[in-house]
Amino acid sequence: MKKLIISFILLLSLICLAPTATYARAGGASGGGGGSTSSGSFGGSTSTTTDRTTNNYYGRRGYYGPRSFLNNLVFAIFFIISAFLMIIRKKRDWLARRHERALSRTVTIDDATRERFEECFYEIEAAWTTNDLSLVAPLITPHFQRQQQRILNRYQRQHKHNQLESLTIISEELILSDNPNVRKVLVTAQMRDYFTNDRLSDEDNEKRREATYIERFSEIWEFKQVDGQYLVNHIDQSL
């Protein structure tokens, strides 16, 4: 579909970018001279001299009208769409390389880290559905709590709740870090993720639930050591 759009815009550009200048012309001027006649007593002679000088000036200037505006518009649209598609492709490639680098630095997670991670994972996700992270404040850094609570406050104003059902961890791996105070866990899990709204009826909210499937996802959870305890400091969902 993307190639079809680009091909269509390119064809339209070639049609519209044909030269369409309109010209204004200036003409020339010409002038003529008279003659002279002389005669003598012993005979007469007549000479006539006629000089004509013709100066022709040919000027041309082009101007661009409405069609030129269309040319520029088509070119601008083509450029913007091409740049947008290029950015999407670059971002997708960057995320793929980032994921590959993360996988290349993973090791088997130890039991202590797994236990701590699963405790944080399930409790934080459960608190998320209530729009109140104060319930899990001992598990997360203050900065991360403020950052995420702003999102939940917006949900609360909109009478929304992000429901996370059938949440199950499939795999966990520890990502090697150069910082001894930071631990990162690559988790793959699955769940049903949808929104309910307090203003809707139970029937409408149930329709939203039924329209959503259980899907698999991967995230990187970053833990930061604070006062000897590892707290969740960031969740990278860009994988």
3-state secondary structure the chain: CHHHHHHHHHHHHHHHCCCCCEEEEECCEEEECCCCCEEECCEEECCCCCCEEEECCCEEEEECCHHHHHHHHHHHHHHHHHHHHHHHHHHHHHHHHHHHHHHHCEEECCHHHHHHHHHHHHHHHHHHCCCCHHHHHHHECHHHHHHHHHHHHHHHHCCEEEEEEEEEEEEEEEECCCCCCEEEEEEEEEEEEEEEECCCCHHHHHHHHHCCCEEEEEEEEEEEEECCEEEEEEEECCC
117 shares its domain with 181: yes
Judgement on whether residues 69 and 173 belong to the same structural domain of the protein:
no
* Final residue of a structural domain among 104, 136, 156: 104
Q: Is residue 48 part of a domain?
A: no
Residue 63 has pLDDT above 60, yes or no: no
Q: How confident is the model at residue 90 (pLDDT cuts 50, 70, 90)?
A: confident
Q: Is the pLDDT of residue 29 over 60?
A: no
129 and 205 assigned to the same domain: yes
What is residue 169's predicted lDDT score, i.e. its pLDDT? Answer: 98
Please indicate, yes or no, if residue 55 is contained in any of the structural domains.
no
Which of 75-79, 134-138, 226-230 is the least confident region?
75-79
Confidence of residue 72 (pLDDT cuts 50, 70, 90): confident
Among 47-56, 146-155, 173-182, 207-216, the least confident range: 47-56
What local confidence, expressed as pLDDT, does residue 43 receive? Answer: 44
pLDDT of residue 120: 97
110 with 180, same domain: the answer is yes
Mean pLDDT of 38-65: 44
What pLDDT does 9 receive?
57
The whole-number pLDDT of residue 168 equals: 97
Which pTM value belongs to this model?
Answer: 0.62
Range with the poorest average pLDDT among 25-29, 46-50, 126-130? 25-29
Q: Is residue 114 part of a domain?
A: yes
Same domain, 116 and 232: yes
Please say which residue of 83, 104, 125 terminates a domain.
104
- Portion of the chain with pLDDT greater than 90, in percent: 53
Mean pLDDT of the residues in the chain: 79
CATH number at residue 216: 3.10.450.240
Q: Which domain holds residue 166?
A: 106-236
Tell me: the pLDDT tens digits for 164-205? 999 999 999 999 888 999 999 999 999 999 999 999 999 999
Same domain, 6 and 100: yes
